[in-house]
Amino acid sequence: MSAFFADFREHPFLLNVLEREKRGQMRKLILPLKENHLFSKTYARGKSEVSKLCAVYIMRNFKRNPDGSPMKTKLGITVNRKLGKACKRNRVKRLIREAYRDNYEYIKDGYIMIIAARAAAFAPHVKAQDMSRAFKKIVSRDDFFNIPKKPQKKN
């Protein structure tokens, strides 16, 4: 039986299945933000930082897991329709998702984050590394996640 399991792990088809499982785990890192009211609330009350390629809006998520720990950070991606056709917009969204995955270690739990693409992100020379670098500059700032517990009302 042990020889069977050794062959089982070396089988090329099964290696592809194992690789697909790993890719699925990376997808779980991104918890999508889909509720429109959370988008508008984050734009209105959240903190924002801007770089050449993207703008990041962030707000504390007050919901908790059943065990009391903060929920994972939800990510919303917005790309303006005026900036390019669907193919270009989808490419920019892929770049943003990759930048989020690359810098996952800098992102704390318990927040709602929206990344909005800017016009410079649509240039054909922009690569995933450029987007990742721009996103890392924003997220790794010391004061980026220092958000007051209660949102302040704007007059």
pLDDT of residue 11: 53
Q: Angle of helix 86-102 relative to helix 128-139, nearest 10 degrees?
A: 50
pLDDT of residue 141: 82
The structural domains of the chain, ordered by start, are 28-139 (3.30.230.10)
Averaged pLDDT, groups of 10, the chain, 155 residues long: 52 52 60 94 94 95 89 94 95 95 88 96 95 92 69 57
- Phi-psi category of residue 68: left, alpha or beta, with phi > 0 → left and psi -120 to 50 → alpha: left
pLDDT of residue 1: 47
Distance in Å from the first CA to the final CA of the chain:
73
Q: Residues 6 or more apart from 136 whose CB is under 8 A from it? A: 99, 102, 103, 106
d(CA 107, CA 122): 25
